[in-house]
Chain A
Amino acid sequence: MGKATIIPFGPQHPVLPEPLHLDLVVQDEKVIEAVPQIGFIHRGLEKLTETRDYNQFIYIAERICGICAVGHSLGYAETVEGLMGLEVPKRASYLRVILHEMSRIHSHMLWMGLAADAFGFESLFMHCWRLRERVLDLFEAMTGGRVILSAVRVGGMVRDQDAATLAHVQEVLEGIKDEYHEICRAFLNDSSVRSRLVGVGVIEHDDAVNLGMVGPFARASNVVNDVRCKGAGAYAELSDFTPITSNDCDCYARVEVRAKEILQSIDIIEEMIARIPEGPVFEKPKGSPADGAMACGALEQPRGECYYYAQGNGTKYLERMRMRTPTSMNLAGMAAALKGCDLADVNMIVLTIDPCISCTER
């Protein structure tokens, strides 16, 4: 047995996509303990509720994270609408779901590209990002922005989408689907990918539940935890929704869950487009949140459940705004998955939780 050594890993490291620091206690190339540390990019965004009114804060909420921009603006808007007892027009809630699911597709495709890059499959990485670019083009056509969309506002949506745009979205997604099947085949059936991922970073179902894991990371350990099942907003109108889970509990299962979720999101968008009702997309909020009023909301972000809390004080400024992000729930699971793994697998395991440190620190 060799001597245990501590290897500092991150926050700036070529294989890490996010500023996360890990103290890896290594013995004979095996990680015996991993101690995560965050706090490098705290920006104090929640504190800004004191200086920005509830309408202005949505633009800050969506800048918490570039990849989850739609999700954060949607989660914030729904919470403030709950605070003010505001009902959003039905067409707006359909459009919100369409944009949110599109952001899930682009987030998962980005992640799959990074995962392919992490295990050294460069061409797969490029094809994933090439397809993702088409989703960003759709965002640009629908909202005028590619990453930060500023499409959602308290009370509804900024812009309505005409039938031609929605038909174009459907057409592009169908085109993506065909090529995506080929990419999926490489991810799920290629022997080189499987040999790199199967049996790596295993978290059993019971451990996943005890560690409070959320999102695709938990669903890959067969934890049926998806906020979309609760049917908030237009999700309630879906004819059928079953979360995608896997029993394998390893890195391969996490890739599989995310790969299948993209196809599921395309199906949801197609159903929403087929059933979208006519009508207005914005209902102007009147007044301010009442003094002492509290509201909370949960949303299934691409990385998992994100929880929002807001409190009013009778003025147009919120008393408190707080969110609990999926990565903060998954860090404990990541530390557990790293225990006992090979040093060479660390980047792969860190990546499979899809960490978003800018969300977590805000």
Chain B
Amino acid sequence: MGSFKLGKMTLKSLFTKPSTVLYPFEEKPQPAGIKGHIENDITACTLCGTCSRVCPAGALIVDRKAGTWSIDHFRCVQCKSCVLNCPVPCLTMAPGYQKPAREISRETLQKPAPSPEELAAKEAAKKAKIEAAMKAKAAREAAK
């Protein structure tokens, strides 16, 4: 019993550095794996729409026709369910929280149109697939 039971700790804290940091001039280091914000590698994205279906906050909109993927950072709750369910995977959670903004806006990413080389490669792959199917069909008929 008695008073000043916290005296030792209080005296010690007089001679130690402050426990707080002078934000925004000084920032604490962010550990790896922190849930800061969502990033999408739009070139790899197949616009399958799984992320928008699993999002509990309705923050993601995928428009396959227009070839866009958009996120409302103000609705996003950083739950990471889109990242966990992305089949590609092209979504990641990057460190760094979103900065405050004056207006609510969506970040929209446009999937780039394929280059002539990519289109040619796609066309060639499609042709090869059809040819292989025709050959297989012909082989089946010959066997009959």
Partners in one complex: yes
A204 → chain B closest CB, angstroms: 25
Asked if B116 is an interface residue, CB under 8 A from chain A, the answer is no
Given A144-B35, A145-B35, residue A158 in contact with residue B80 (CB < 8 A): yes
Contact between B78 and A145, CB atoms less than 8 A apart: yes
Contact between A140 and B31, CB atoms less than 8 A apart: yes
Contact between A133 and B5, CB atoms less than 8 A apart: no
Contact between A190 and B5, CB atoms less than 8 A apart: yes
Asked if A291 is an interface residue, CB under 8 A from chain B, the answer is no
**Closest residue to A116 on the B side, CB-wise?**
B6
Residues of A within 8 A of B81 (CB): 55-56, 59, 150
Contact between A192 and B9, CB atoms less than 8 A apart: no
Interface size, A (range): 20 to 34
**Closest residue to A195 on the B side, CB-wise?**
B3
Please report the total number of B residues contacting A with Cβ < 8 Å.
27
Across the interface, B2 reaches (CB within 8 A) one of A144, A158, A183, A189, namely: A189
Q: Considering residues B6, B8, B34, B55, which has the most beta carbons from chain A within 10 angstroms of its beta carbon? A: B6
A288 → chain B closest CB, angstroms: 15
Residues of A within 8 A of B105 (CB): none
Contact between B56 and A127, CB atoms less than 8 A apart: no
Interface digits, A33-76 against B, CB 8 Å rule (1 contact, 0 not)? Answer: 00000000000000000001001110110010000000000000
Q: How far is the CA of A55 from the CA of B10 in the complex (A)?
A: 47
Q: How far is the CA of A158 from the CA of B82 in the complex (A)?
A: 12
Asked if B79 is an interface residue, CB under 8 A from chain A, the answer is yes
Contact between A189 and B1, CB atoms less than 8 A apart: yes
Residues of B within 8 A of A144 (CB): 31, 33-35, 80, 93
What are 20 A-B residue pairs whose CB atoms fall within 8 Å in the complex? A55-B54, A56-B54, A59-B56, A59-B57, A124-B6, A140-B30, A140-B31, A144-B34, A144-B80, A144-B93, A145-B78, A148-B78, A150-B78, A182-B8, A182-B9, A185-B6, A189-B2, A190-B3, A190-B6, A192-B3
Residues of B within 8 A of A177 (CB): none
Contact between A150 and B3, CB atoms less than 8 A apart: no
Interface digits, A172-194 against B, CB 8 Å rule (1 contact, 0 not)? Answer: 00000001001101100111101
Asked if A247 is an interface residue, CB under 8 A from chain B, the answer is no
